């Protein structure tokens, strides 16, 4: 069997993720969290987890449910766990965010929501790790993009283990010295493994496959891509190894962090060269909007890496960590996420509505489900606001940041509306819209009678 | 079936398959090079060997079924069998000029 199944719950993951993104954008517009509050403030932690868990992690999980089978060429194992995982994650992340809000004194919630939310979130991710790890295990030997996903999943496990510890410490439920040491010193590891490992490294791996697939570029595994994987995996492995070193009080942690950072920077440099090669080597002359919009994300990753190097050389990491994390989170990860959603949503919608009609009657192309000229404007506005907001953070100008976040909120909501129009088949020529008497697809729930592929 | 009749049937099947457009690529599956072989045997038995642009593509079963239905309705075909293969894997070089300009 060669086929992959159409993931039933991916659209639901995307819908939940986009709602969390819109909430996060509203928080930034209202000045809830950094830069109005300090970077360590509970308000900022609420904002960071709304974006990193609610938006980016749910988006990544939904995308992996659809694309891990494509990466390994076999169906997903235990697909029935996708829905309970989604429910646990939405409940858990909401609890976690409200727990941080309670720590900020901004609501009448109990701080116990923090460990509750963390536990439920870990349970949700645990189910997903079981699904993906089982699928990958059964597909050995893994192709290179899937090996990136495997390392990303390892990073996720380490990230949520650290995060769970912090939640219990911050809620006052754990006062062991080891847990307190980890909370005081391990926060950067938590962020590095989450943003750098789970979200970025996995995105890099999937992008190798998706970009070559959508642009018809040469698909063979390159030595340079293997080096990116090896360096990235080594960097993340070193970061993870620092956790037991903190617990045992071992010396040499700073040196190891520097080595990991250097390996990570070199990996990103080689990765960017690979990406340029993929774009230049494409057979498809016309670059579709998802790939064009992705260029902004790659530019943001490049700028963030150069910015990180400049901060490290000048010894000003702590001063610049805010704009750096913003650029990675919004420029790179959010930009790439929105760009690829612009392809994945119509693709899944086409499969749902027109796949069974293929060859029986005229069907639209996937591209007929979108209007690129309209969406291109909103992508341009999105990246403009990322540039302005990053500059505002560098200049410590909270007002400018809030104004640019308002622009970003508008751009994100306009793109969200484009996704809804795609799901509603609004852009499809009327003669092809609902041919064969097929009903309009649900906005974000799967069809009740799913069609499984053999 | 005479060799010339057989060749004519293969051409008719190839023409019919040009009606099936790959939803993502926007070009028909023949010009994309997804049809590896069309073999006609006595009694109107037709075996089509095809591939998809990537292994594990979620549209695979739909494309295979579309090919099966399409071939079945070509006059002269009594039975159609579609085999999916990834040996050799599809590469963009397999596209005809008409599809390259996408």
Among B26, B67, B86, select the one facing A367 at the smallest CB separation. B26
pLDDT, residue A357, reads 87
Burial class (CB in 10 A: 0-12, 13-18, 19+), A393: buried
A79 inside domain: yes
pLDDT tens for each residue of A39-61: 999 999 999 999 999 999 999 99
Residues spanned by the domain of B22: 3-88
Answer yes or no: is pLDDT of A453 > 50: no
B100 inside domain: no
How far apart are the C-alpha atoms of A390 and A282, rounded to whole Å?
Answer: 32
How far apart are the C-alpha atoms of B22 and B24, rounded to whole Å?
Answer: 6
A85 inside domain: yes
- Give the side-chain half-sphere CA count within 13 A for A304: 28
Answer yes or no: is pLDDT of A198 > 70: yes
User: Residue B45 pairs with which residues in a beta bridge?
Assistant: B41, B79
Number of domains comprising chain A? 2
What residues in chain A have their Cβ under 8 A from chain B's Cβ atoms? Answer: 2-6, 66, 69-74, 213-214, 216-219, 283-286, 347-348, 350-351, 354-356, 358-360, 363-367, 453-454
How far apart are the C-alpha atoms of B12 and B15, rounded to whole Å?
Answer: 5
pLDDT band at A221 (very low <50, low <70, confident <90, very high): confident
Smallest Cα distance from B11 to chain A, Å: 18
**Domain's final residue, options A117, A140, A163:** A140
Enter the tokens of residue A38. Answer: 């300090």
pLDDT, residue B11, reads 95
A210 inside domain: no
pLDDT band at A73 (very low <50, low <70, confident <90, very high): confident
Asked whether the beta carbons of residue A360 and residue B55 sit closer than 8 angstroms, the reply is no
pLDDT tens for each residue of A266-324: 999 999 999 999 999 998 888 999 999 999 999 999 999 999 999 999 999 999 999 99
Answer yes or no: is pLDDT of A374 > 50: yes
Residues spanned by the domain of A1: 1-140
Q: Express as a percent the part of chain A with pLDDT over 90.
A: 79
Domain with B43 in it: what CATH number? 3.30.300.130
Smallest Cα distance from B40 to chain A, Å: 21
Asked whether the beta carbons of residue A70 and residue B56 sit closer than 8 angstroms, the reply is yes
How far apart are the C-alpha atoms of A432 and A175, rounded to whole Å?
Answer: 63
Enter the tokens of residue A34. Answer: 């950094």
Answer yes or no: is pLDDT of A343 > 70: yes
Q: Express as a percent the part of chain A with pLDDT over 70.
A: 96
Per-residue pLDDT tens listing for chain B (102 residues): 677 788 899 999 999 999 999 988 888 999 999 999 999 998 889 999 999 988 778 889 999 999 999 999 999 999 999 999 999 989 888 887 666 555
> Do residues A435 and B42 lie in contact, with contact meaning Cβ atoms separated by under 8 Å?
no
End-to-end Cα separation, chain B, in angstroms: 39
């Amino acid at each position: 069997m060669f086929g992959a199944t159409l993931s039933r719950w991916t659209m639901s993951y995307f819908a939940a993720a986009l709602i969390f993104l819109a909430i996060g954008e509203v928080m930034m517009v209202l000045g809830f969290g950094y830069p109005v509050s300090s970077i360590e403030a509970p308000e900022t932690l609420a904002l960071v987890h709304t974006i990193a868990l609610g938006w980016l992690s749910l988006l990544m999980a939904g995308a992996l449910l659809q694309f891990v089978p494509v990466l390994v060429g076999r169906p997903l194992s235990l697909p029935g766990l996708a829905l309970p995982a989604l429910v646990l994650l939405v409940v858990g992340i909401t609890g976690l965010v409200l727990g941080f809000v309670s720590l900020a004194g901004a609501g009448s919630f109990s701080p116990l929501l923090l460990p509750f939310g963390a536990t439920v979130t870990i349970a949700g991710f645990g189910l997903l790790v079981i699904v993906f790890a089982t699928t990958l295990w059964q597909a050995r030997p893994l192709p290179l993009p899937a090996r990136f996903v495997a390392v990303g999943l390892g990073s996720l496990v380490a990230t949520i283990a650290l995060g769970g510890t912090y939640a219990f410490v911050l809620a006052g439920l754990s006062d062991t010295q080891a847990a307190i040491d980890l909370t005081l010193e391990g926060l950067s590891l938590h962020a590095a493994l989450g943003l750098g490992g789970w979200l970025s490294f996995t995105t890099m791996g999937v992008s190798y496959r998706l970009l070559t697939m959508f642009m018809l570029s040469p698909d063979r595994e390159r030595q340079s891509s293997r080096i990116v994987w090896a360096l990235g995996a080594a960097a993340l492995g070193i970061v993870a190894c620092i956790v037991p070193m903190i617990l045992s009080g071992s010396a040499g942690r700073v040196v190891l962090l520097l080595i990991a950072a250097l390996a990570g920077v070199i990996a990103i440099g080689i990765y960017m060269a690979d990406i340029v090669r993929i774009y230049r080597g494409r057979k498809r002359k016309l670059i579709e909007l998802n790939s064009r919009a992705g260029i902004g994300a790659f530019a943001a990753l490049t700028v963030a890496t150069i910015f990180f190097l400049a901060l490290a050389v000048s010894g000003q990491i702590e001063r610049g960590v805010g704009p750096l994390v913003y650029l990675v989170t919004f420029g790179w990860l959010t930009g790439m996420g929105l760009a690829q959603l612009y392809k994945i949503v119509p693709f899944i919608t086409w499969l749902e509505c027109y796949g069974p009609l293929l060859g029986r009657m005229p069907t639209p192309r996937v591209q007929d489900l979108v209007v690129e000229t309209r969406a291109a404007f909103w992508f341009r506005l999105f990246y403009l606001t990322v540039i302005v907001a990053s500059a505002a953070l560098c200049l410590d100008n909270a007002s400018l940041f809030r104004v640019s976040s308002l622009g970003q909120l508008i751009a994100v909501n306009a793109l969200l509306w484009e996704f809804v129009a795609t799901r509603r088949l609004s852009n499809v020529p009327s003669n092809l819209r609902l041919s064969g008497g097929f009903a309009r697809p649900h906005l974000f729930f799967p069809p009740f009678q799913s069609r499984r592929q053999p | 079936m005479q060799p010339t009749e057989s060749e004519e049937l293969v051409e008719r099947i190839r023409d019919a398959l040009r009606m099936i457009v790959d939803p993502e690529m926007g070009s028909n599956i023949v010009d994309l090079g997804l049809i590896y072989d069309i073999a006609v045997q006595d009694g109107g038995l037709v075996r089509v060997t095809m591939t998809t642009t990537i292994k594990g593509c979620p549209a695979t079963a739909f494309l295979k079924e579309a090919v099966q239905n399409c071939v079945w309705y070509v006059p002269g075909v009594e039975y159609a069998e579609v085999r999916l293969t990834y040996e050799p894997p599809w590469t963009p070089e397999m596209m005809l000029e008409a599809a390259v300009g996408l």
